[in-house]
Structure 1
Amino acid sequence: MSDDKPRVVLTGAAGKLGRVVLRDLLDHDYRVLALDQVPPPGLVEGDDAQFVRIDLTDHGAVTEAVAGRTEERGGPFAGVVHLGAIPAPGLAPNGVTFRNNATATWNVFDAARAAGVRNVVWASSETVLGLPFEAAPPPYAPLDEEYRVRPESTYSLVKSLEEEMAQHFCRWEPSLTMTGLRFSNVMHVEDYARFPSFDHDPALRKWNLWGYVDARDGAQAVRLALQRRGPGVEVCIVANADTVMSRSSASLMAEVFPGVEVRRELGEHETLLSIDKARRVLGYEPRHSWRDHV
């Protein structure tokens, strides 16, 4: 590994988003300690990456890894990116999801603080906005970060608690910079072939206001968050600039959520998960769209 490149810890490096984040960081001259339970696909000889198998609920193992004690000359790290988790509701019993995700995140936050790492980026979730919008409609559109979180699942509840944890970690350690990225539904290019099928029934994707994020744009947001300066916590919605639908965003809201306030005039396919804060705070600008591939 080249010592003149910044080195970061990446948990969940083999996941749907993590593998793309890993490649993006390597392509932008970072060295990466990749943590997961299985090796990330796509690593090749010569990559500035080290894979370490880990159980993120093991506090001692996480503390050692973030302190650089995976090799005799490991660390220090310029930042920690925490993506590792049971990635959605319904994949495990609720108690398992809570125990795994809450413990893993506390372990990572605590290990970063103990090791003196001052920049932590982690995956929050669009679900804290009140998804899925089946039982209760959104409070308004486009959604933003200005209203109190509304978790509707144990998975989302943990994400809400992670955001609260970050507030207190930064209160305890005022030099910390912590950025929570409320990722929308992560998609790869191969997922886009089915998007046109959503048009026949707008209710199919109303659960998240027809949002998505291309994994490459999600990786961009992670990298920009690692570059954020200034202490304290920021949470940002990270979605693509458009929806998954061919129909206009205004017509979708009028048909499916006629009683919900639309707070401004909408662009033709404008996302209903506002990315204005991510643009302002991170300099984020989506570069990809499913429309370029279908």
Structure 2
Amino acid sequence: MSRVVVTGGSGKLGRAVVTHLAEQGYDVVNVDTAPPPAGQPALFTQVDLRDLGQVTEALTGIDDRYDGVDAVVHLAAIPAPGLRTSGATFANNVPSTHNVFSAARRAGIRNVVWASSETVLGLPFETPPPYAPVDEEYAVRPESTYSLGKAVEEEMARHFARWDPTAKLVGLRFSNVMEVDDYADFPSFEQDPRRRIWNLWSYIDARDGALAVQRALESDLTGFEAFIVASPDSVMSTPSADLLARYFPDVPLKRPVSGTETLLSIDKARRLLGFDPAHTWRNHAG
């Protein structure tokens, strides 16, 4: 059994990740400032990730609670722009991620997966993307301080991987994370597609986000890699090519898209991680 520390395991995506990894046989430690939901299948430890000493202890073992960690999944962060001031968001998120990367290196943990963000692709796409489906091939285009922080984290990961060529640091660029209860509102997007234009009508079910984490943990990659993690379908019923033509008429299609296929390409995650998402809002929305 492998022991995995999940930071932010009390949050929306974190809850799904903790549950999924425990179901797959991992020994999971939830590291967060917020308490976990009742019955969560993980050991919980309250840690301030802005303190390198606390993070180092969390990734090496705390007293007699646990000793030694095989991998870390770093999800804890202020999760979106505008929830706090820009300065506070940057001051929380970027140092926390640095501390996780640094503590993992000190602890000899070479398997690190963390939450980057779809926002590095240029969201909210007030400046249109260079092409669609968007992918990992063009340079990051942060448009907010939150997104800038994620871009800095990816750059840090490149250098931590350079310092230890045997390490793996995988940044998962999660799309908008959804739980089943969120799907009731999805049919209303059809009345005003502009409500979801900001991320090209994309999303990711939290359960599939957890699957992407598992696939990244278990991959035999080394070095730094970034992957878009989105549902294979959009939040809409209108075909994706029609939406692109209507709202982004000057953005070329890099390849054909079929029906309501996502415009945030998950081709790389499918190819290198074996990511095969299974959940869609269409099975839950009334």
Does TM, normalized by the shorter one, top 0.5? yes
Q: Name the amino acid aligned to 2:44.
A: F
Report the counterpart of residue 53 of structure 1 in structure 2.
Answer: 46
Report the counterpart of residue 70 of structure 2 in structure 1.
Answer: 78
1:274 equivalent among 261, 265, 268: 265
Following superposition, the deviation at residue 73 of structure 1 comes to 6.0
* Root mean square deviation of aligned Cα: 0.9
In structure 2, C-alpha distance between the alignment counterparts of 1:39 and 1:279, rounded to whole Å: 34
Percent of aligned pairs with the same amino acid: 60
Q: Name the amino acid aligned to 1:166.
A: A
Q: Check the 8 A contact 1:202/1:256 in 2, yes or no.
A: no
The 5 Å alignment of 1:137-152 reads 137-152=128-143
Matched, 1:17 2:13: yes
Report the counterpart of residue 23 of structure 2 in structure 1.
Answer: 27
TM norm structure 2: 0.98
Count residues with an aligned counterpart.
Answer: 285
- 1:219-244 deviation digits (Å, cap 9, x = unpaired): 00001111011320110000000000
Following superposition, the deviation at residue 122 of structure 1 comes to 0.2
The 5 Å alignment of 1:99-138 reads 99-134=91-126, 136-138=127-129
Query: SS of 1:17's equivalent?
Result: helix
Following superposition, the deviation at residue 78 of structure 1 comes to 1.5
- 1:143-164 deviation digits (Å, cap 9, x = unpaired): 0000000000000001001110
Matched, 1:91 2:83: yes
Matched, 1:36 2:32: yes
- 1:155-196 deviation digits (Å, cap 9, x = unpaired): 000100111000000111111111100000000000000001
Following superposition, the deviation at residue 35 of structure 1 comes to 0.4
Following superposition, the deviation at residue 75 of structure 1 comes to 2.7
Contiguous gaps of at least 5 residues in structure 1: none
Report the counterpart of residue 247 of structure 2 in structure 1.
Answer: 256
Q: Name the amino acid aligned to 2:191.
A: H
In structure 1, C-alpha distance between the alignment counterparts of 2:28 and 2:96, rounded to whole Å: 19
Query: SS of 1:40's equivalent?
Result: coil
TM norm structure 1: 0.95
Contiguous gaps of at least 5 residues in structure 2: none
In structure 2, C-alpha distance between the alignment counterparts of 1:187 and 1:117, rounded to whole Å: 30
- 1:83-139 deviation digits (Å, cap 9, x = unpaired): 0000000000111001100110000000000000010000000000000012x1111
Q: Check the 8 A contact 1:55/1:61 in 2, yes or no.
A: yes
